[in-house]
Structure formats: C-alpha cells, structure tokens
Amino acid sequence: MLNRRNFLTAAVGVAAAGGLAACAKEDEGSSSSSAGDGGGKKLTLGFSQVGSESGWRSANTDSVKASAKEAGYKLQFSDAQQKQENQISAIRNFIAQKVDVIAFSPVVVTGWDAVLKEAKAKKIPVVLTDRSVETSDESLYVTLVGSDFTDEGRRAAKILEKVLETAGHKGAVKIAQLEGTTGAAPAIERAKGFKEVMDADHKDDWKIVASQTGDFTRAGGKQVMAAFLQSNPDINVLYAHNDDMGLGAIQAIEAAGKKPGKDILIVTVDGVKDGFVAMSEGKINAIVECNPLLGPQLMEVVQKVKDGETVERWIKTKESDFMQAQAKDALPTRKY
Ligand code: AHR
C-alpha cells in the first residue's frame, strides 16, 4: 500500500516540457466543480492513452472521457499512437502544465523511470491504468487500475480445454499464438499465463508451433495468420491475445479455404461486440473477457489520490469467460 505522503517524499530530476500540442486535447467536464474540492477549482487530470489499435481501446477511451466528464474533472487527453516516445512527451507536457494527477496506460512495460521521477519531483501523483510498468522504484506510481493479464492467459488455456472437449478433438493440438504488442504487459503476461497451464497440464499433447506479434490490430492479425498458414498448414488452434487480431485472422483462415471455429478452433481475449458477433456466427469458440470500462474506477481513485487518501496498490477488474454456446444470449447485453 502507498499513500500520498510516502509518494511525495523524494525529489529527483527536473520536469521538462514536451511539445505534444498536436496530439493533446482538452476535454472539459460538464459540471462546474470537481467532487471533493468544496466547489472550488476543478481537478485537472492528464491522461495518456496507448492509441486506437483495437475495439477494446476505443471502448476504454470512451469510458475514460465520459467518466471524467461525469466527475466534473478537466481532462487533458493525449493519444500516443502506440509510441512510447509520444507518451513520454505527453507526460512531460502534463508536468509542465502542473496537472493535479497524471494517469496513463503504458504502451510497453520498461523505460519509464526517468519521466516518472520528473513527475515525482514536481509532486504530481501518477496512476497507472490498464497496463503495468517495470520500475526500479515502486514509489514512482501510486496504484494500477486494471486486469490480471497473467490470469487471463491461464483462463485462455483452461477454456481451450473445454473448447477441445466440446469439439470432440482427438490427437495433437498445434497452436498458433498471435501476440499483442511486443514488450506490452498484456502480450508478455497473456503468453506467460497460457504457457504456465500448458507446461503443467499439456506438456505432451499441446504445442505452440507458431507465435508472433500482430500488434493488437486486425490488419496485423490477418497478415501474420496468413503467413502462419503458409508455413504451418496443419495448425488446428489459434490463441489470439485480443479479439481484433482474432477477427483479422478469421479473414486469413477463410481466404485459405478453411473454416474458422471448425478447422481451426479459436480462443481470443477481450469480449468486444465484434468478437461476440463472430462467436455467435460460430467463428470464435471462446472469449476470455478483459473489461475496458475502467473510467468510473479510475476517477474514483484519482479523487482519493488527490485527497491524500490511501488506495490499494492494484485495483483489479472483475471479468468472466464465455463459450460459443453463450454468445447469442450474451450479445444483446454487451456494453462495448
Ligand atoms: O491492454 C489491453 C489490451 O490492449 C487489449 O486486450 C487489447 O485489445 C488492447 O489493444
């Protein structure tokens, strides 16, 4: 656990202003005062988003913007277009503008210490959202609001067991893995959790025969899957680290004259509407949910941090898993 007093102890480094005017946008909250400030100055939140690579990301952005508005915060929103250097510039810009709190979803796990030290030196608390970082100094951020990606990887392997059983699959399981962005927490941890279960329970019958990044995009998933099918035509399972790559892969599988969901059994992560549509059409066999609607929790935490309250070190998101048989009933109630 960390509290604001602990967080604000050391003062290291100097804040430098980054010129990210082109990407940074300001979204004003609708009400005239921020919660908890007695009707005075609005809380200003600087938020650096990964990009707009997937349906999950769009839902996450909408959730953050709507919740900031609802809370009455002044939101400075910046889209990094999946580039770490853009995020670092955005954070430096937030520091220069003296925002009250910085929140960001890091593109990759490493390389943040310098800029986080600059924020700490200026006594601006940092909240991580969605993805984690690796840091030499745990006090450089207050908390993470997001999912347990390693567990999502484990859940993907466990649900694949059910998928194989439902399909009556016998014999070797030749798995293609479409990885997320190289160096990103969900890519590293979803691969790790899946492998953990595979090594423990399926050493002899499951094999990952191809594994490469599709950068969490539909186009990436399509392109990489097409290459996988050329080099390994006998792949019979696809594990995609997100729905979008799975949806791109479905196009490549169909173009190769195979039936997604039958010739190649497919498990993906996220649970966006398009993923559920494909699952209800029989093209995806199971989805491990990763909830992007983090805005309300994030705003709650931001207010607590601003007020100097103690918050948990990791505020985990609640999620479910879905088999194909549940898709049609679940589809109308999906919120993203
Ligand atoms: O960090 C969450 C992941 O990032 C989502 O699973 C993926 O769709 C997104 O791009």
Residue extents of the structural domains in the chain? 25-147+293-317, 149-290
pLDDT at 171: 87
pLDDT at 32: 32
For the Cβ of 130 lying below 6 angstroms from any atom of ligand 1, the answer is: yes
Question: Distance from the CA of 237 to the center of ligand 1, in angstroms?
Answer: 21
Using the atom order of ligand 1, give the atom closest to the CA of residue 185: 1
- Name the residue with the closest Cα to ligand 1, atom 3: 186
Using the atom order of ligand 1, give the atom closest to the CA of residue 181: 10
pLDDT at 27: 54
d(CA 208, CA 156): 14
Question: Distance from the CA of 48 to the center of ligand 1, in angstroms?
Answer: 15
Q: Best of 216, 217, 336 to mutate for ligand 1, by most ligand atoms within 8 A of CB?
A: 216
Q: Best of 49, 108, 130, 133 to mutate for ligand 1, by most ligand atoms within 8 A of CB?
A: 130
For the Cβ of 216 lying below 6 angstroms from any atom of ligand 1, the answer is: yes
The set of residues, in sequence order, having a beta carbon less than 8 Å from that of 204 and lying 6+ positions away, is none
Question: Distance from the CA of 258 to the center of ligand 1, in angstroms?
Answer: 27
d(CA 132, CA 124): 18
Query: From the CB of residue 268, how many other CB atoms can be counted at a distance below 10 Å?
Result: 30
Q: Name 216's bridge partners.
A: none
pLDDT tens profile 80-106: 999 999 999 999 999 999 999 999 999
Q: What type of residue sits at position 272? A: V
For the Cβ of 270 lying below 6 angstroms from any atom of ligand 1, the answer is: yes
CATH H-level, domain 25-147+293-317: superfamily: Response regulator (3.40.50.2300)
For the Cβ of 290 lying below 6 angstroms from any atom of ligand 1, the answer is: yes
Q: Best of 48, 52, 53, 57 to mutate for ligand 1, by most ligand atoms within 8 A of CB?
A: 57
CA atoms within 13 A on the CB side of 229: 21
d(CA 235, CA 262): 12
Helices (H) and strands (E) in the chain, counts: 11, 13
Question: Distance from the CA of 79 to the center of ligand 1, in angstroms?
Answer: 15
Question: Distance from the CA of 201 to the center of ligand 1, in angstroms?
Answer: 27
pLDDT at 135: 96
Question: Distance from the CA of 310 to the center of ligand 1, in angstroms?
Answer: 28
Question: Distance from the CA of 58 to the center of ligand 1, in angstroms?
Answer: 10
Question: Distance from the CA of 8 to the center of ligand 1, in angstroms?
Answer: 31
For the Cβ of 269 lying below 6 angstroms from any atom of ligand 1, the answer is: yes
pLDDT tens track, the chain, 336 positions: 333 333 333 222 222 223 333 344 555 443 333 344 445 689 999 999 999 999 999 999 999 999 999 999 999 999 999 999 999 999 999 999 999 999 999 999 999 999 999 999 999 999 999 999 999 999 999 999 999 999 999 999 999 999 999 999 998 999 999 999 999 999 999 999 999 999 999 999 999 999 999 999 999 999 999 999 999 999 999 999 999 999 999 999 999 999 999 999 999 999 999 999 999 999 999 999 999 999 999 999 999 999 999 999 999 999 999 999 999 999 999 999
Fold identical between 25-147+293-317 and 149-290? yes
d(CA 204, CA 207): 8
Domain range 149-290, its CATH number among 3.40.50.2300, 3.10.20.520, 3.40.50.620, 3.40.50.410: 3.40.50.2300
Reference 80, options 100, 38, 108; nearest CA is: 108
Question: Distance from the CA of 16 to the center of ligand 1, in angstroms?
Answer: 30
